[in-house]
Structure 1
Amino acid sequence: MFVPYDGPTAGELASTKIFIPDTVSETWPWPRRLNQHYLEVKVESAAWFASCKAFNSATVLDAFERIHCDLMSCLGYPIASKVHLRNICNIIRILYVIDEYSDVSKPSGVREQKNAIMDALHNPHKPRPKGEWVGGEMMRQTWERTIRDASAQSQKRFITVLDSFLEGMIQQAIDRNEHRIRDIQSYIDVRRETIAMKVLFALLELGLDIPDEVMSHPTIETMVIASMDMIIIDNDIASYNLEQARGDATHNFITIIMRELDMDVNGAMLWVADLHKENQKKFLEAMAAVPKWGEPIDSQMREYCDGLGNWVRSNYEWNFENERYFGTKGPEIQSKKWMTLMPKDCLKDSEEIGPVHVDYSLL
């Protein structure tokens, strides 16, 4: 079911403070961990990204670097080798480029972006067509490096889930173009694609060789979905204020809950926090019930499942450590557990593609 998007609710307008629930800090058994190669790969990946000229101005590039994509990579993959981590940093940067370009593109434009990305994956040694969207060449360069050291299984799964992610981005563009907002279940179905966690989970496998029948076991699938849904909740909590200030909050769980359940923004925050707790329980119960397949599969699955649990923690911490959502106020907002609701659409008129600097005094 679709509901027309027709502006903020009365509760949203009345609320000047947004509650930020602590969904992870006190309850999640995985601690914050940072890969030892962080400082090295950060410099290398940033230099590569600047050479690609994905954005047109130094201001936008600076705003992009404040997202700290490499910090996300090094928190999300704390035990990855330097070779794998370097490629992961590039891939996560590309995912954010896709996000920024697709947010301002018509569905047909997002389809063209997808075609360039997928063709580059299937033909990593073939020069890209002149005048093509920059993401095609970025992916070609990165995938050509990645496949030198990645297992065949991880390559296969990465290509499959990236295709699904890009289809989700096309659907998001269709919804935005038609001014539609989804109900809870249909939103979750699409958001599980657009959050890109299936893509990032595939990168946990770069040095592993896990058979399809093991990855498709119901217990593993339960863990994947539960961790992904927790990350969706945490990301949508963190991004809601920025997105509504940019006039682009229709693809956000908080907006969905406010509309469907007739709640104000803080009621929606509490609702998704309860859902987060339910998913924590599902994940931990499933992890305790992971089957035994024998070695070397069991040790590889322990590493993979640990990676799923770590991603919930790393995403939560990164939300407050990067400057995309809260600027330099992230640690303060994380501690106080509230922030000021920014004026609706106050960031809507940016003319450049890419992230924007926000006047974080508004928070």
Structure 2
Amino acid sequence: MSSAVIQYTLPDFFSLCAFNFSKPNPHLQECRAESKAWVARFNVFNDKQNAIMEKSQTTCDFLNLLFVLDHLSDDMNSKDANGTCEAFYQVMADPDFKHESNLAEIILDFRQAIIHSAKPQFFKHFLSDLKRYTKAVADEAELREAGQVLDLINFVPLRRENSAVRCCFAFIEYNLDIELPDAIFDDPIFQSVYFAAVDMVCWTNDLLSYNVEQAMGHTSNNIVTVLMREKDASVQEAADCIGVVFEQLMTRFLKDKSRLPSWGADIDRDVALYVEALTRWVGGNLVWSFQCSRYFGTANNVALLTRLVTLYPKDIEDGQK
């Protein structure tokens, strides 16, 4: 007797998102091809991992580098994940650190590509975020090995770090050629805006990736699983909850954005640029999730138009029927 088909409806994130959705960068295809070729040059993936990466269609070298660690660490035990994550950070932080691996080679190549144009304040913020990220990925591996799923209050801080969203946000300074003083990041109102954006990306990403992850057996590091366990909820109820939280985070972001203090004309201009970039990240994450085939396979347009998702059976590793 066949199992019942389980379907759930995604929140209408595009209606809930108050930010403008900008057009794709005209250099998208060219940069995507270059970044793909760059990763392939270091031979860090097996055929299955290469196929998953192909669906991601990322353009940014750093995002591709993150996907490298993400896919490699997914199948590692806690000891191996700790060693790999430590090497990831140390190679990025110290060019004299020696580690014989393809992963170390690609990290060092990335570091050398940016270090000459990286301003000190950016690189300091980036390394701080990267250290938290690599530790959180190692912590995630330990939890996975122990079969432990955190409760919501403890999961959210971990997810903020192991998602690498904060590392990506660090590149806002680099891309815009600005440097924000530490006092900005320490300001409680700025932190509220910042973490609202982090959480909007994390919560939506977990829901949009859940179907593929549960089919592959990678469910412990996902807010959907946490909500289902903690609230004894169905997938649909968890999805609805994420929609409510997204709307609350959006409201908080807009409210506190209007309450940001002044640090002087020059810094205020850079803060405004940074906050605008946060909005583009939140909106861009939604657009990318439905444009690529990483999460919905060949049904990404159906998922976008209908918001209806059919739960894959277990072990559908490529996320497609």
Alignment pair present for 1:167 and 2:135: yes
Distance, in Å, in 1 between the alignment partners of 2:210 and 2:223 is 8
Unaligned 5+ segments in structure 2 are none
Alignment pair present for 1:346 and 2:315: yes
Q: Which amino acid aligns with 1:122?
A: A
Cα deviations by residue, 1:175-219 (Å, 9 ceiling, x for unpaired): 100011111111111111111111011000111111101222111
Distance, in Å, in 2 between the alignment partners of 1:56 and 1:258 is 33
Q: By how many angstroms is 1:129 displaced?
A: 3.6
Q: By how many angstroms is 1:27 displaced?
A: 3.8
Distance, in Å, in 1 between the alignment partners of 2:159 and 2:219 is 13
Q: By how many angstroms is 1:295 displaced?
A: 2.9
Distance, in Å, in 2 between the alignment partners of 1:62 and 1:173 is 23
Contact 1:19 1:338 in 2 (8 A): yes
Alignment of 1:237-316 (within 5 A): 237-316=207-286
Q: Which amino acid aligns with 1:297?
A: I
Distance, in Å, in 2 between the alignment partners of 1:139 and 1:157 is 18
Contact 1:91 1:139 in 2 (8 A): no
Distance, in Å, in 2 between the alignment partners of 1:295 and 1:33 is 29
SS in 2 for 1:182: coil
1:19 aligned partner: 9
Cα deviations by residue, 1:103-130 (Å, 9 ceiling, x for unpaired): 1001111111122112211233x48443
Cα deviations by residue, 1:256-284 (Å, 9 ceiling, x for unpaired): 11111111110111111111111001000
Q: By how many angstroms is 1:309 displaced?
A: 1.2
Distance, in Å, in 2 between the alignment partners of 1:60 and 1:212 is 38
Alignment pair present for 1:49 and 2:39: yes
SS in 2 for 1:69: coil
Q: Which amino acid aligns with 1:68?
A: Q
Contact 1:123 1:140 in 2 (8 A): no
1:99 aligned partner: 70
Identical counterparts, % of pairs: 27
SS in 2 for 1:181: coil
1:146 aligned partner: 114
1:61 aligned partner: 50
Q: Which amino acid aligns with 2:14?
A: V
Distance, in Å, in 2 between the alignment partners of 1:118 and 1:300 is 28
SS in 1 for 2:14: coil
2:19 aligned partner: 29
Contact 1:292 1:298 in 2 (8 A): yes
Q: 1:308 to 1:45 in 2, by over 3 A?
A: same
Q: Which amino acid aligns with 1:300?
A: D
Distance, in Å, in 2 between the alignment partners of 1:208 and 1:36 is 23
Q: CA RMSD in A?
A: 1.7
Q: 1:14 to 1:280 in 2, by over 3 A?
A: farther
2:179 aligned partner: 209
Q: What is the total number of aligned residue pairs between the two structures?
A: 317
Runs of 4+ aligned structure 1 residues displaced above 4 Å come to none
Q: TM-score, normalised by structure 2?
A: 0.94
SS in 1 for 2:149: strand
From 183, 187, 196, the counterpart of 2:151: 183
Q: Which amino acid aligns with 1:39?
A: Q
SS in 1 for 2:26: coil
Q: 1:284 to 1:14 in 2, by over 3 A?
A: farther
Q: By how many angstroms is 1:154 displaced?
A: 0.7
